[in-house]
Chains A and B, each alone.
Chain A
Amino acid sequence: GEDVEQSLFLSVREGDSSVINCTYTDSSSTYLYWYKQEPGAGLQLLTYIFSNMDMKQDQRLTVLLNKKDKHLSLRIADTQTGDSAIYFCAERKGGNNRLAFGKGNQVVVIP
């Protein structure tokens, strides 16, 4: 089957930038998403990018998409302690808008 892959753990100092990477295998995916999950909570949509875009910036968040390599990244500038969470990338697959999620990347921000 097709998988969305993510690295598992990232530790970053407050104020630094953090970068989370994700690879996907379905070249027909139209939208790719980044979600944030805090402990015991649901998923919060952070941002998304359409497959015909290379980059999208939204305040402290920058999403880069390399469609040729099927690589997606999320950069968080000026990382804050409130950014500590698990981050999931997801791709939209198929005609019924279902999402396939990566395994998640836990980000721990050190004060």
Chain B
Amino acid sequence: GAVVSQHPSRVICKSGTSVKIECRSLDFQATTMFWYRQFPKQSLMLMATSNEGSKATYEQGVEKDKFLINHASLTLSTLTVTSAHPEDSSFYICSPTWGYEAFFGQGTRLTVV
């Protein structure tokens, strides 16, 4: 199967600071990158969709200025949580896709204190 590298796996940050999460597809080129958020004991909620070189499309209710997505290449996308607040604490998962196959990173547990 495809190899996806997402890091950091865990991060604790102070309220008001920014955190960058990186997602790489190591052995394939991802035409589309999805970013999901998962609260405890809940399913994945799609935050945004991005294609390489284009601006991301955000789901309703997701602030684009707060969750900055960069998809500069077919193998790398980043999600930056800006001015983080405790309510942003969650599990963030990237999903690079190619064709009909969607793969997932190992997730980043963000805790904002």
Stretch touching chain A among B13-21, B67-75, B76-84, B95-103 = B95-103
A18-44, CB under 8 A of B: which get 1 and which 0?
Answer: 000000000000110101000011111
A interface residues with partner B (beta carbon < 8 Å): 30-31, 33, 35, 40-45, 48, 88, 90, 92, 96-99, 101-104
Whose C-beta in chain A lies nearest to the C-beta of B1? A45
On whether A88 and B100 interact (CB within 8 A), knowing A42-B105, A45-B1, A98-B34, the answer reads no
On whether A96 and B43 interact (CB within 8 A), knowing A41-B106, A42-B107, the answer reads no
The 4 A-B residue pairs with the shortest CB-CB distance, nearest first, are A43-B104, A42-B106, A42-B107, A42-B104
Q: A98 near B109 (CB under 8 angstroms)?
A: no
Count class of interface residues, chain B: 20 to 34
Q: How far is the CA of A104 from the CA of B45 in the complex (A)?
A: 12
19 residue pairs from A and B, CB less than 8 Å apart: A31-B100, A33-B102, A40-B109, A42-B93, A42-B107, A43-B44, A48-B100, A88-B44, A90-B102, A96-B32, A96-B49, A97-B100, A99-B34, A99-B46, A101-B43, A101-B44, A102-B43, A103-B43, A104-B42
